[in-house]
Amino acid sequence: MTARRVAARESPRFVHSLAAEVGAQAVDTIKPMRFSVVLFDLDGTLLDSGWMILASMRHATRTVLERDIPEAELLARVGGSGLREQMRAFDAERVEDLVTVYREHNEPLHREVVACEGVLPVLDRLRAEGRRRLGVVTAKRHATVQLAAHALPFLDDLDVIVGWDDTDQHKPHPDPILHALEQLGAAPPDAAYVGDSPFDLTAARAAEVFAVAVTWGRIHSTQLLAAEEPNVIVDTPEELLAVL
C-alpha cells in the first residue's frame, strides 16, 4: 500500500499501526516515491552511539563537576543545539572544561561505533533507486562526523552533509534542515527528515518537511518523540523505507 500522511493530531498508537501496516508490505512494491529528498540525523538514527554519548557525558560530569547526574538528565539534551549548550545546562561556568574532557573521552570511542541495526541495507536500497537525493543533518562537527565514517561507508556518496559548523542556528531551529535543502535546490514539501530526538522533530516541523521519528536510537523515549507530533513514528528501518 501507499503510506498516507499522518496528521499531527493522530494518536501515537495509530501512527505505530500505520508504520507497522506499511512496513509489512514488500518494499519492492512501494510506489510511487513520496519524497525526492531524504535527510537523516546521525547519532541514534544512523549511528548506534547512545552508549558512547552517555559514557562520555558521565565521564565529563564526574571528572569536572564531581557529580553523579542521573542518566535521564545526561541524555535529555542530546541531539539539540550542540555540545556546548548541552554542557551549559550542567554548569555554565565550566562549559569549556566539560567540552574538553567530553571530547577527550568521546573521540577515541568512535573507533567502536557501528551503524544502527538494519540501517545500512535501507540506505543501500534508497541509494540504488538512483532517483532520490540523500543527506545528513547533524549537531556533530564535520571533523567528528568523519570519525564515524568507517561505520557508514556511504557518507562520501551523500548529496549533502550539514554539520554544526555550517549554520549559526542549530536544532531545534529549522536552519540546518533549510540549509541542506538550499544546498540541494529542493523545497520542503519534497523532503523528509528522519531523527530520533525531540529536537530533530521540532526542527523538521518548523522547516515544514515530513517529520519521521525513529525509536531505535534509545536515547529518547517514544513518549517524548510522540509529544513533538511527528508525521509518523517508525520502529524499524524496514518500516522507515515503507513511509518514504
User: Going by C-beta distance under 8 Å and a sequence separation of 6 or more, which residues neighbour residue 128?
Assistant: none
**Full-model pTM:** 0.86
Give me the DSSP letters along 211-234: EEEE-TT-SS-HHHHHHT--SEEE
pLDDT at site 31? 54
Our answer to whether residue 235 is catalytic in this structure is: no
Q: What is the DSSP code (8-state) at residue 5?
A: P
Q: Is the dihedral angle over the CA atoms 82, 62, 53, 96 positive or is it negative?
A: positive
Q: How far apart are CA 219 and CA 53, in angstroms?
A: 9
User: What pLDDT shows up at residue 105?
Assistant: 98
pLDDT tens-digit readout, 121-180: 999 999 998 889 999 999 999 999 999 999 999 998 999 999 999 999 999 999 999 999
Confidence of residue 33 (pLDDT cuts 50, 70, 90): confident
- Give the separation between CA 154 and CA 134, rounded to whole angstroms: 10
d(CA 214, CA 36): 19
pLDDT digits (tens, 9 = 90+) for 86-100: 999 999 999 999 999
Strand partners, 39: 135, 193
Supply the pLDDT for residue 197: 96
d(CA 69, CA 184): 41
Q: Give yes or no for residue 103 having a pLDDT over 70.
A: yes
For residue 197, give the C-alpha cell: 530526538
Catalytic residue among 28, 41, 48, 124: 41
